[in-house]
């Protein structure tokens, strides 16, 4: 038998969880399906010290919606603590692990979808895709020997290294935060970036830019640990040094360097097969999902929110704001006259 629910949400990240809370406060039922773990991108790719209160690429970092966030939650650790309390307080229905197999619209007016997963079938009035842009992290495009592959790392979860030589491959905010995190833990760190310093600095929010400038300034004072940036460089080949066990990396510039580990943080992409093939979402020439100002796709009743909605402006606060805009639009279009204000007493 199919499970009836007002809203089906794919992805238990910031956007998906906040959408479920917003729906709850309107008296609507929801279910969140997640194939990996709750807040998977945050736990797998972000250092614990990451800040979530920074303006990023013209997007102002401000929270709004039914649940406001106090200043103390602006660190990643504080933010995840609040999210965990929200899940428990609002009794959110989250199914983990569970994967979507098909999403089919069975009615236009009113909108109604049939969603089949590997475990259940759902009938729902609206679908929110909030899978994040790191559903499929980009791989290092280089010739990597089999013995060296274990030293090329894509997830930082549980990686508490110290006294190691670590490379971080990438030049966006996440890469810089990972590099700074490992440096502060007592490692020699090298950022490998294919562009010039001016381009790298333009990628960063104010906080990360200030932090990296401060660390580079420390280098003049002979610090115990080294921190450097190899600009205009890309790894084309990697082998394992049989004598010392280190990762031997070859740059396209002809330079050769050695590390204990190389953490790859060059972004990622959502599953286009899922969005296009199973959801009927159209894409731009640049590969971004086509959505309107309310994050609704051409497949009416189906919304794309969070990192996956607007490539290049991925941020936790942005994802949460998009969920509010999308739920409010859904309320006025697909559930008009069917919602109610539900009071809640949520304490941090």
Domains of the chain: 3-135+268-333 (3.50.50.60), 139-264 (3.50.50.60)
Backbone angles phi, psi at 43, to 5 degrees: -75, -30
**CB-based contact 88:26 (threshold 8 Å):** no
Per-residue model confidence as pLDDT tens for the chain (348 residues): 789 999 999 999 989 999 999 999 999 999 999 988 888 877 776 766 666 666 666 667 777 788 877 665 667 778 888 889 999 999 999 999 999 988 999 999 899 999 999 999 999 999 999 986 655 667 889 999 999 999 998 876 656 788 899 999 999 888 888 898 889 888 999 999 999 999 999 888 777 888 899 998 887 776 777 999 999 999 999 999 999 999 999 999 999 999 999 999 887 666 677 788 878 888 888 777 889 999 999 999 999 998 777 644 557 778 888 899 999 999 999 999 899 988 888 776
**CB-based contact 247:237 (threshold 8 Å):** no
């Amino acid at each position: 038998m199919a499970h009836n629910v007002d809203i089906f949400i794919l992805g238990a990240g910031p956007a998906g969880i906040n959408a479920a809370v917003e729906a709850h406060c309107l008296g609507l039922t929801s279910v969140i399906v997640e194939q990996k773990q709750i807040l998977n991108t945050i736990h797998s790719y972000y250092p614990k010290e990451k800040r979530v209160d920074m303006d990023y690429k013209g997007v102002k970092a401000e929270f709004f919606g039914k649940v406001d966030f106090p200043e103390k939650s602006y660190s990643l650790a504080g933010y995840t603590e609040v999210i965990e309390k929200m899940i428990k307080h609002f009794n959110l229905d989250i199914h983990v692990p569970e994967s979507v197999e098909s999403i089919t619209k069975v009615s236009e007016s009113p909108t109604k979808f049939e969603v089949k997963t590997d475990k259940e079938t759902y009938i729902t009035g609206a679908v929110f895709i909030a899978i994040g842009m790191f559903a499929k992290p980009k791989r290092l495009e280089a010739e990597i020997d089999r013995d060296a592959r274990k030293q090329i790392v894509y997830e930082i979860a549980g990686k508490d290294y110290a006294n190691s030589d670590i490379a971080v491959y990438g030049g966006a905010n996440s890469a810089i935060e990972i590099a700074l995190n490992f440096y502060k833990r007592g490692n020699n760190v090298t950022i490998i970036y294919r562009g010039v310093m001016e381009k790298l600095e333009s990628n960063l929010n104010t906080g990360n830019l200030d932090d990296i400038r401060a660390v580079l300034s420390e280098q003049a004072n002979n610090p115990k640990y080294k921190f450097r940036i190899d600009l205009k460089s890309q790894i084309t080949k990697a082998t394992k040094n049989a004598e010392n066990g280190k990762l031997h990396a070859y740059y396209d510039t002809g330079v050769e360097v050695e590390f204990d580990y190389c953490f790859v943080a060059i972004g990622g992409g959502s599953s286009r097969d899922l969005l296009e093939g199973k959801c009927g979402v159209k894409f731009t020439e640049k590969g971004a999902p086509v959505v309107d100002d309310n994050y609704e796709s051409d497949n009416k009743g189906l919304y794309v929110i969070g990192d996956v909605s607007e490539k290049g402006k991925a941020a936790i606060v942005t994802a949460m704001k998009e969920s509010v805009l999308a739920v409010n639009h859904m309320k006025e279009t697909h559930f008009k006259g069917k919602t109610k204000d539900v009071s809640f007493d949520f304490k941090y």
